[in-house]
Amino acid sequence: MSDLRLEISKDFAFDAAHYFQFKDGDHPFSRMHGHSFAGTVTLSGEPAAESGMVKDFWEIDAEIAKLRDQLDHRLLNEVEGLEHPSLEALARWVFERLDPVLPGLIAVEIRRPSCGEKAVVRRG
């Protein structure tokens, strides 16, 4: 079984508004608009002998909650580091903040389900 890799994932969601400054003034995306976002955080690792878990989901959720508070019902353009809040930038922003506190983090996916769009940042 040494060639098998164990991954766990935790989903989360938030609602936020944004606009794109680089679009022409008459472009609809240059105006403020909102989305319901969904995300998934994925970790990889070996289960701890004492718990059988890669990481306690409650601990993952606690770290995600700190970020969700910075994003939920906010204007993303005003969040430090998200001045140009594309899906790609948002996925990277989440990854960079969770990476130091979630050992084994290998991917962050951010989706806009109503638009059928997603961006994934993956280690390696």
- Binding residue ranges for Zn(2+): 18, 33, 35
How buried is residue 32: exposed, middle or buried, by Cβ count under 10 Å (0-12/13-18/19+)? exposed
Give the residue numbers of the binding site.
18, 33, 35
88 closest CA partner among 9, 18, 10, 11: 18
3-state secondary structure of 111: strand
How many whole angstroms separate alpha carbon 1 and alpha carbon 31? 53
